[in-house]
Amino acid sequence: MFYSYGMSVCIRYSNDRDEAVEILNEGFMKVFTNLKKFDLSKPFKPWLRKILINCSINNFKAKQKKFLEESIEESKGKEVQEEIISGISYQEIVEMIQKLSPAYRTVFNLYVIEGYKHEEIADMLGISVGTSKSNLAKAKKNLREILNEFFQDDYVKTK
């Protein structure tokens, strides 16, 4: 039941499925060994999600710490709004996210999907707010390019 949910979180932070399973198992280990700390009056899913995100961040820190050192310059690129036509699978969307570098991917996931603020992300990853913003901007820029490539310009129309 929680396998699919857990995988959906971990896969977005991973390079591939194997890495996602590794993070998921690490997360479940923490769930099992810390069940006594779980507040039964609260829903389980957010707690599991939180643990999995922490595990993903730990995994990112352990394996890809160097990516945190990437440029902190603010993106000055023109904001482009796209009209995206549906017709793309979940698997393809995940693969697009996985094409991002670990630093960009982590910030993108935390900011866009999980909904954290840049200040929170900076604190979680041990980076500056500027770096967080920069990584997000570059992640989005890369995703646009990936999307353009995917739809071969026919499906993405610049407003």
In the complex, the residues that contact another protein under the rule CB under 8 A are 3-5, 7-8, 11-12, 21, 24-25, 28-30, 32-34, 37, 47, 50-51, 54, 58, 61, 79, 81-84, 88, 90, 93-94, 97, 108, 112-117, 120, 123-124, 126, 140, 143-144, 147
Return left, alpha or beta for 156; rule: phi > 0 is left, psi -120 to 50 is alpha, else beta: beta
Q: At its nearest, how many Å lie between another protein and the CB of residue 73?
A: 21
Helix (H, G, I), strand (E, B) or coil at 14: coil
Task: Estimate to the nearest angstrom the gap between the alpha carbon of 30 and the chain centroid.
Answer: 20
Helix (H, G, I), strand (E, B) or coil at 84: strand
Beta strand residue intervals within the chain, DSSP E: 82-84, 156-158
Compute the distance between CA of residue 138 and CA of residue 146 in angstroms, rounded to an integer. Answer: 12
Q: What is the DSSP letter of 34?
A: T
Q: At its nearest, how many Å lie between another protein and the CB of residue 67?
A: 16
Q: Residue 44's CB: how many other CB atoms inside 10 A?
A: 12
